[in-house]
Structure formats: structure tokens, C-alpha cells
Chains A and B, each alone.
Chain A
Amino acid sequence: MGVEIGSRGVPTGASDVEPTVGVPTPPSAIVGHNALASPRIIGAMRAGFAAAFVLLVGSPAHADGPGPRRGFQMHYGVGVAVPAGNASGARGDTLGARYAWQVVPLDLGLGAKVSDDLYVGGVLRVGVGAEGSDTRVERACEDDDGTIDNEIACSAASYQVGVELRYGLGSADQVNPWIGYGIAADFGHQSIHDRVRARRETTTARGVEWARLAVGLDHRMGRVGGLGPALAVGLGQYTHSRTEVNGEPVFDGPIEQTALHAWITLTVRMVLFP
């Protein structure tokens, strides 16, 4: 009970099948010696292969977009960062208790588009702000003595230096949504300066930002410049701490109880060669 090849009027030669330009033709469609290979099925298979090709290799350039670009790319962003989670496992030591929300005056990235869709680069981020919500520090930092001079100066900052990957979902288009992942060295810095007693205490926590998960949207104005918003959640852990008093280190060592923290950052980015 074998199947009779060619007995149902099915085209049997490769020359009978017109291949579509730019889409690989499946071998079964070329051979065409199967009883199931009717023109409708062959068409469906072609469509399936075409869809798989597009999914695997990438979408074709949109006619209205500036087209994809490879090579050097950089971005500069500004925004705000909101703390979440815990700076350490000690009671009450939340990231928000140490650091208030911060202005991000510098979010600088330098790298390259290694393919039409994938960007790899280094990144430096700086956030600056005031002391956090801890009531003892807040009270100490308040300048409420009625004098004009600010006798107690408090400040806080955060830094991340690392690498990031971004994948463009519309790299050829005018509007390019993207997703990103980054890993970085993570620093949190706070300072209180008592000018009356001439005592400046600073503490810098350092660790790793294990995952900076980001989404963004670049509006590409040609192939040279772009602009768009980005939202990132940087999940990190401080592992070491260094305290200085008047510039002299009084402690430099590991944090006994580590914990997870996050910086939620919203920026506006200008992109060169998007």
C-alpha cells in the first residue's frame, strides 16, 4: 500500500516551483515528490519558512525608517533615580533611609552596534541628592538654628560603572523600542559635614549591580541622532563599606548582613548614531 508518486497531477519538477526572491525554499518544496505536496501546502510551507526566516534573521527595513546602523554609538542621558529595597540587612537600613531620590545629571554610554539590533557598551551613571528619610540624620542635617550660615552640610551620591547590552526591536525604524541588561560596579556615598566642630563623616558602600533591566524608546532622527525616554531598574547589593572621618579611614571592610536594593531610574537619552 504505497503512495503513488505523481499520480494525482502534482508538479514533480523543481522547475515547476517558482521560488520567492529572498526567501529560502524548503527542500521538500523543490523536490515535490510527496503526495501531500499540493500547491496550497507548498504555499503554506513557503509562508511558514518566510516567517521563520524573518523571526530568526530579523525584520526587513521599513520603508519609512532610516534603516539599521552598525558601529560606534554613544548616549547621554539625564533623569531621576528613586531608591528601593535595603542597603544592608541591619534594622531600618533601607536604601531610602540612606539616600533620598536623586537627580541623575550623567548617564553616559559608549559602545557599538555589533549587529543591526544589538548594542554592547560601557556605561557611567552618576546620581546626586540629599540625605535619606532616616529621622536622626534628617534632624542633624536640618539647618534650623536661625543663622544664615549652613553649619551642617549633608549630601549623597551614587555611581555605577559597568557594561550594558541593548536589543532594538525596531532597529531600522524611526521609532525603536529596545530592551536592555547591564551589570556594573555599584557605589553609594553619603556625607555629613559639621562645620562648627570641624568634623566630616563620609561613608561609601560598594558592591555589584547584578542586573540593570531597562526598556526605552528611541526616536531616530535620521541615522545620526536620536532622542527618547528610558526606564531602568538596577538590582544591586552592597558588600563593602568604608567610613572616613576628616579624610582618615576609620573602617574599611565587608558588610556583615547584605541585602538587595534597587535604583529605579527614569531618564531622557540623546543617542549619537542610533
Chain B
Amino acid sequence: MKRRLGLLLALASLGCQSNAGLHYDNVHLSVSDEAGVDVSPANSCLTLPLLLGSQVEQRHRIDAQLELVLHADRDRVLVRFDGSGVRAELAREQLAEPLELDVESPSGASYRLVLIGGCPKPST
């Protein structure tokens, strides 16, 4: 009887082991104008996908003539601007280092973009 109880307790304790789930790589995007005012988009966090072949794309309008496109697969993040020829790529291993880009909109306004690994909360 004691052995059975012990076995049950052992099984129950196994069942109670905590599991944090999978690890996800995130990148956080912030954009500021030439005056240093934060003009970051509302959803400024992107989670890199896990599966081979998965892709994620976000589009953010910075101003009337400039759109930012963030495109990621599980190994890299690509940044490009529709309305400007600026583009950059950040490998997954480089996410700890911030990527800074200065871009000028066709409207004449200048912006600074900073992309860095990690977000307050994972989201898509």
C-alpha cells in the first residue's frame, strides 16, 4: 500500500513540474523623428517563427509617403522601406546588437529606426 502511495506521489510530482514552453526570439522596433519624438507603431514587437519555411511580415506606415516592412523567417529579419531604397538585414545571432537606420521619407522628413532583440511580451 505504501509503495503504491509512493508511486502515485512520484507520478503526481512529475505532473506538477513546471514547463515554460518554447523559447521565442523577438525583435522590438522603435522609430523616432528628427526631433527625437517617438513615432513607433503600436504593435512594435515581432516574434520570429519557429518552423522551417515559416515567415512573418509586418507593415507599418511611418508617414504618408513612407512605409516600413519588417519581414522575418526563423533565421533573420529584413527591414525595408517602400518609398525609400534603404534596406537592412539582421541575422538571428545578431539580435542582441541594436540595428540603427536613418531613413529619409520622400516627403523630406527624416526618421531613425532602431531594431533590437527582445520584447516586453511576445506577440506576432
Contact = CB atoms under 8 A, between A and B. Distances in A.
A53 B105 CA distance: 76
A16 interface: no
4 interchain residue pairs of minimum CB distance: A196-B21, A197-B21, A251-B55, A203-B54
B15 A140 contact: no
A203 B21 contact: no
A152 B17 contact: no
B65 to A, nearest CB: 23
Interface in A152-197: 152, 190, 192, 194-197
Interface in B42-89: 47, 49-58, 71, 73-74
Contacts of B22: 140, 152, 192, 194, 196-197, 199
Contact of A149 (B15, B52, B71): B15
Describe B's contact surface by its main secondary structure: loop
Contact of A201 (B17, B54, B58, B71): B54
Nearest to B58: A250
A87 B20 contact: no
Contact of A251 (B19, B24, B57): B57
Given A136-B74, A146-B17, A196-B19, A201 B51 contact: yes
A87 B53 contact: yes
A192 B49 CA distance: 10
Contact of A88 (B53, B58, B124): B53
A243 B21 CA distance: 20
Interface in B10-25: 11, 14-15, 17, 19-22, 24
B106 interface: no
A147 interface: yes
Given A196-B21, A245-B124, A140 B57 contact: no
Interface of A: 87-88, 90, 92-93, 97-98, 132, 134, 136-137, 140, 145-149, 151-152, 190, 192, 194-197, 199, 201, 203, 205, 241, 243, 245-246, 248, 250-251, 253
Interface of B: 11, 14-15, 17, 19-22, 24, 47, 49-58, 71, 73-74, 122, 124
Given A190-B53, A245-B56, 6 more contacts: A97-B52, A194-B21, A194-B22, A243-B54, A250-B124, A253-B57
Contacts of A147: 14-15, 17, 19
Given A147-B15, A148-B14, A248-B124, A196 B52 contact: no
